[in-house]
Every structure is written in structure tokens, then in C-alpha cells.
Amino acid sequence: MQWAGQYEYLQRVKEKLTIVLPLTVLIIFLLLYMNFKSVTETIIVLLSVPFSLVGSIWLLYLLGYDMSVAVWVGMIALAGLAAQTGVVMIIYLDEAYKRWRDEGKMKNITDLHDSVTEGAVQRVRPKMMTVMSTTLGLLPLMWSMGTGADMMKRIAAPMVGGLITSTFLTLIIIPVIYVLWKQRGLPNK
């Protein structure tokens, strides 16, 4: 007796993903490191990926979808979007921090909080526009009926769920982690 069909296909994909996923994460890490030239900033950006996966797993659970190749495709696409939004958040935070430092306004932790708040607030509108346009584009796929709709729903679902949680977690947690990182050496008052 031998398994065949989708099960066999899923097993082959699972074997390939055990090689491809770690290799992909390593390549993303190296590209981010080459961009930022900082391991800490690279790790902060990569933290946005698990934040997005939380929402995708929740929505997959609520919809009753099992893990499949289509779900993995949606999660990989979501990871790229989450990393992109994390990069942009770090760029905005760095820009505000460096401007405050160069102007001589970075004297204590309160100034750091103000600069990070300024950088994060500038990121709210672009993040919301990205999330809303992508989510509105994916919702028709989630509600579609017809040929291929079953697979497309499983690609769109992790992206929609992940974008929702990624929005809040990236806008809140990344600035907090950034403050914790940059506050070393600054006086409290």
C-alpha cells in the first residue's frame, strides 16, 4: 500500500520547504544586513514577520483551513510584506532619531521617546494605505466562487489575517523595541 495524490505532493513540498524556508530567511537576513549594516536593526525588522504570522494563523483557524501549499504561498507572500513594512518603519525611526541627534535635541530618554513617536506617527498613514489597499484587493479572492477559488482563498486568507495583526503590532512593538535599543547611554531625565 502506498499513499498517492495530494498527500504525496504535500510530502514532497514539505521536504523542499525544509530547505527553501531557512535559506530564504538567511538570504533576507543578509540583504537586510547589507542595507542597514546593523544586526540589531535587521533583527528588529525580522521581528515583524512573526507578528504577521499570528494573524494569519488565527484567520486560518477561524476559517477552518488546513495547511496546504496554497497556504504556504500566502504566508511567504505575507512574510515579504511584513518585512517590507518593518524596513520602512525602521527607516522612519532612524531618520527622526538622527535628525534629533544632529540638531542637538537628543539629551535624555524623553527626547528619544519624542523622536521615535514623531517617526512612528509619520509611518501610520503609509502603513494604513498599504494594508487597506492590499486587504481590499484580497477580499474578493476570499469571497470568490468558481474554478480555482478554493486555492485562491487559501492564498489570500493568511495574507489578510496577517496584515491586520501586522499593522497594529508593527506600529506599536517595533517603536518600543527601538526605544529599548537606543536608550542605552541616555540619562533618564
* Cα 11 to Cα 3, 29, 155, 184, distances in angstroms: 10, 27, 19, 48
Q: Are 59 and 158 in contact (CB under 8 A)?
A: yes
| Res 123: pLDDT | 84
pLDDT one-digit tens code per residue, 91-138 = 999 999 999 999 988 888 889 999 999 999 988 888 888 889 988 999
DSSP code string of 124-148: HHHHHHHHHHHHHHHHHHHH--STT
Nearest to 33 by CA among 47, 18, 43, 20: 43
Q: Which residues, 6 or more positions from 54, have their beta carbon under 8 angstroms from its beta carbon?
A: 162, 165, 169
pLDDT one-digit tens code per residue, 157-185 = 999 999 989 888 888 889 999 999 988 87
For the chain, give every domain's residue range: 45-182
| CA–CA separation, 44 and 90 (whole Å) | 8
| CA–CA separation, 148 and 77 (whole Å) | 19
Q: Is 181 left (phi over 0), alpha (psi -120 to 50) or beta?
A: alpha
Per-residue cell: 180: 529599548
Please give the CATH topology (third level) of the domain spanning 45-182: Multidrug efflux transporter AcrB transmembrane fold (1.20.1640)
pTM of the model: 0.81
Q: What integer is the mean pLDDT of 44-59? A: 88
Per-residue cell: 183: 536608550
Q: Check pLDDT > 90 for residue 19.
A: no
| CA–CA separation, 132 and 154 (whole Å) | 19
| CA–CA separation, 29 and 17 (whole Å) | 18
